[in-house]
C-alpha cells in the first residue's frame, strides 16, 4: 500500500431470487483470503500508518440479536472473530461509518476492493463493493483512490501450504465422485443422475458445494463448452463429458473426464480421446516456473493442431498457408487450456506474468467435432514447483483401459 492510506475490503452481498428466498452466500474471496471470515456484512479496514495502533487493523462483523438467533442461528461473536482472523480489534458493522470518519481525515487515500475480472463487464449488477466505492467517494471526494485488487492479485496466485492442502482435499472429493459416476453410468441413464452422484460425494465428504454448476454432456451436447442443463438421456455409443469441481473450505478443484456410456469406447472415440490425452500429457509438462502463460497457450495450440491433422480434420497443406490471425484449429478447439485455480475456479493472476512455484493451474485441452457428435476435453490440476509440477488429480482415472475396466466391473 502507498504510505498513509486505508484499505477497505467488504464482503459479498446475499443475492435474492424471488419472494423471500435467497441464493447461498459466497464470500468475497479477497476478504476471506485476508481475514478468514466467511460471513455476510463483514468489512476489513487496514491502516498500517495509523497514529494509534488500535486503528491499524479493524474488522467489522454483523451483530447478532435474538431475532437472528431464532431464525438464522448464531453469528460470529467478537471473540470468535478475533480468534479466526488474528485481528485484535473487532467492531460491529453498524459502527463502521462512525469509526471510519474518526480516522479517515488522517489518511491521504483509500484502497477499495472490486471484483476485477475480464468477463465481469458483461454482467450489469451493483454489488456491495460498488456501493462502498460510490459511498466512499461521495463522503471523502478529495482523497486519493487506489485498487486493492492489484495487491491481492499479486498475493493470491502463490499458495501457502495450507491452501494447497485444501485444494488437494477438494480434488480428492472430486476423485471419489468420479468413481461413483463410473459405477453408475449405463445406457439410458439421465445426465442429471450422474450429476447426482457427484453431488452425493460432495455432501458425504464434507465439501461446501460444487465449485461451479457441473457439466454432464452426453453425445453432441459435449460440443457446447458450457452446456449444463444436464437433462438428456445418455445413449449407448455416446461419450459423456464430465466437467466438474468441488469447493472445500472455500478452495476449489476443477477436473474434466470423458467416458463411454456403454463401457466401451468406439474406435473413433479412442482416436479422439487419445489425441486429447496426448496433448494433456505433453502440454502439462510445459507448466513450470518461468513460463509465460501466453507462450504456453501457443505451444498447446500447436499440439492440438498437430493432432487434428493426424485425425484427418485438418490438412497439413491448408494449415501451412492459413491466416495466422484465423488459425484453422479454432474450428475444433476454441478455448484456452490453463487457468489459475484457488479461491476462485478461474482464480486471480495475470497471464502476462511468468509462472512461479506455489501457483496452481489447470491444463484442459479439447477437441470438438459437432458433425460427428463428439466432444472431448480432459483436465487436471497442477501445482507448480521449483522442478516442474505435481498433478493434484493424479488418482483420477484417465487411461482408456482403466476407465473401461472400472465401468465394467
Cβ proximity of 237 and 338 under 8 Å:
no
pLDDT of 20 reads: 85
Domains annotated on the chain, with CATH: 5-155 (3.40.350.10), 161-407 (3.90.230.10)
Element (H, E) at 373: none
C-alpha–C-alpha distance, residues 278 and 282, integer Å: 6
The mean pLDDT of 196-225, rounded to a whole number, is 97
pLDDT of 321 reads: 95
What pLDDT, in 10s, does the model give residues 234-284? 999 999 999 999 999 999 999 999 999 999 999 999 999 999 999 999 999
pLDDT above 60 (res 122): no
Cα→Cα distances 244→54, 78, 230, 280, Å: 44, 37, 12, 17
Half-sphere CA count of 133, side-chain side, radius 13 A: 14
Cβ proximity of 181 and 198 under 8 Å:
yes
pLDDT above 60 (res 298): yes
The mean pLDDT of 296-316, rounded to a whole number, is 97
What pLDDT, in 10s, does the model give residues 24-72? 889 999 999 999 999 999 999 999 999 999 999 999 999 999 999 999 8
Looking at the chain, the whole-number percentage of residues with pLDDT higher than 90 is: 90
Poorest-pLDDT segment among 49-63, 110-124, 189-203: 110-124
Beta 109-112 vs 144-147: how paired, if at all? parallel
pLDDT of 120 reads: 63
pTM of this prediction exceeds 0.85 = yes
Q: How sure is the predictor about 119, in pLDDT bands with cuts at 50, 70 and 90?
A: low
Q: What is the CA radius of gyration of the chain?
A: 24
Beta strands in 249-387 (DSSP E): 251-252, 255-260, 360-363, 366-369, 374-377, 380-385
Cβ proximity of 127 and 95 under 8 Å:
no
- Phi and psi at 123, nearest 5°, equal -110, 115
Q: Give Cα 105 distance to the centre of its chain.
A: 38
Buried b (16+ CB within 10 A) or exposed e, 186-212: eeebebebbbbbbbebbeebebbebbb
Running DSSP on this structure, what letter comes out for residue 113? -
pLDDT above 80 (res 186): yes
The mean pLDDT of 379-397, rounded to a whole number, is 97
Amino acid at each position: 500500500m502507498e504510505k498513509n492510506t486505508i484499505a477497505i475490503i467488504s464482503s459479498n452481498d446475499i443475492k435474492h431470487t424471488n419472494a423471500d428466498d435467497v441464493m447461498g452466500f459466497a464470500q468475497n474471496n479477497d476478504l476471506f483470503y485476508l481475514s478468514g471470515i466467511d460471513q455476510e456484512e463483514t468489512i476489513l479496514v487496514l491502516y498500517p500508518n495509523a497514529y494509534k495502533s488500535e486503528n491499524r487493523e479493524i474488522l467489522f462483523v454483523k451483530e447478532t440479536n435474538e431475532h437472528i438467533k431464532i431464525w438464522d442461528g448464531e453469528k460470529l461473536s467478537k471473540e470468535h472473530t478475533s480468534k479466526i482472523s488474528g485481528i485484535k480489534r473487532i467492531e460491529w458493522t453498524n459502527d463502521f461509518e462512525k469509526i471510519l470518519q474518526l480516522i479517515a481525515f488522517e489518511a491521504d487515500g483509500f484502497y477499495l476492493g472490486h471484483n476485477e475480472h475480464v468477463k465481469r463487464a458483461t454482467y450489469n449488477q451493483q454489488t456491495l463493493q460498488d456501493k462502498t466505492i460510490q459511498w466512499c467517494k461521495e463522503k471523502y471526494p478529495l482523497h486519493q483512490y487506489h485498487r486493492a485488487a492489484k495487491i491481492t492479485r499479486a498475493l493470491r496466485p502463490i499458495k501457502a501450504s495450507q491452501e494447497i492442502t485444501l485444494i488437494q482435499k477438494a480434488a480428492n472429493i472430486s476423485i471419489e465422485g468420479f468413481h461413483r459416476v463410473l459405477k453408475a453410468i449405463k445406457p439410458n441413464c439421465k445426465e442429471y443422475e450422474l450429476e447426482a452422484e457427484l453431488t452425493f460425494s460432495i455432501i458425504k465428504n464434507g465439501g461446501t458445494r460444487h465449485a461451479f454448476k457441473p457439466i454432464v454432456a452426453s453425445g453432441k451436447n459435449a460440443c457446447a463448452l458450457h452446456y449444463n442443463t444436464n437433462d438428456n438421456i445418455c445413449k449407448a455409443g455416446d461419450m459423456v463429458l464430465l466437467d466438474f469441481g468441488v469447493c472445500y473450505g472455500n478452495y476449489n478443484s476443477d477436473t474434466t473426464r470423458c467416458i463411454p456410456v456403454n463401457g466401451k469406447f468406439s474406435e473413433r472415440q479412442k482416436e479422439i480421446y487419445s489425441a486429447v490425452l496426448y496433448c494433456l500429457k505433453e502440454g502439462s509438462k510445459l507448466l513450470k516456473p518461468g513460463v509465460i502463460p501466453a507462450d504456453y497457450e501457443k505451444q498447446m495450440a500447436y499440439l492440438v493442431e498437430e493432432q487434428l491433422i493426424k485425425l484427418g480434420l485438418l490438412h497439413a497443406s491448408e494449415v501451412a498457408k492459413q491466416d495466422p490471425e484465423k488459425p484453422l484449429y479454432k474450428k475444433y478447439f476454441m478455448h484456452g487450456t490453463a487457468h489459475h485455480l484457488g479461491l476462485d475456479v478461474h482464480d486471480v493472476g495475470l497471464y502476462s506474468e511468468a509462472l512461479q512455484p506455489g501457483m496452481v493451474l489447470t491444463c484442459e485441452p479439447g477437441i470438438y467435432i459437432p458433425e460427428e457428435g463428439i466432444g472431448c476435453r480432459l483436465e487436471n490440476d497442477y501445482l507448480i514447483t521449483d522442478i516442474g509440477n505435481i498433478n493434484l488429480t493424479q488418482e483420477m482415472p484417465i487411461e482408456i483401459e482403466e476407465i473401461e475396466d472400472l465401468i465394467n466391473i
